Amino acid sequence: MQKGIGIGIEDFREIIKEDCYYFDKTNYIEELIKDKTKIKLFTRPRRFGKT
């Protein structure tokens, strides 16, 4: 069976159950915390995260 992308799946258990790809960004968070820059810019696609 080929792995899927899991578009629209929000539950981690379901991602694992459906054998979808996932990306662990834990190390990236640590890198952001240790970074000494004063300003960090996080961009997002238009209307992303809106209710």
Q: Tell me the three-class secondary structure of the chain, residue by residue.
A: CCCECCCCCCCHHHHHHCCECCCCCHHHHHHHHHCCCCCCCCCCCCCCCCC
Calpha distance 6→36 (Å, rounded): 35
Q: Using one digit for the tens of pLDDT, what is the confidence trace for 4-19?
A: 888 888 899 999 999 9
Q: Using one digit for the tens of pLDDT, what is the confidence trace for 15-39?
A: 999 999 988 888 888 998 899 999 9
Against a cut of 0.75, is the pTM above it? no
What are the residues whose beta carbons fall under 8 Å from the beta carbon of 5, sequence distance 6 or more? Answer: 20, 21
Please state the domain extents for the chain: 1-36
Calpha distance 18→3 (Å, rounded): 8
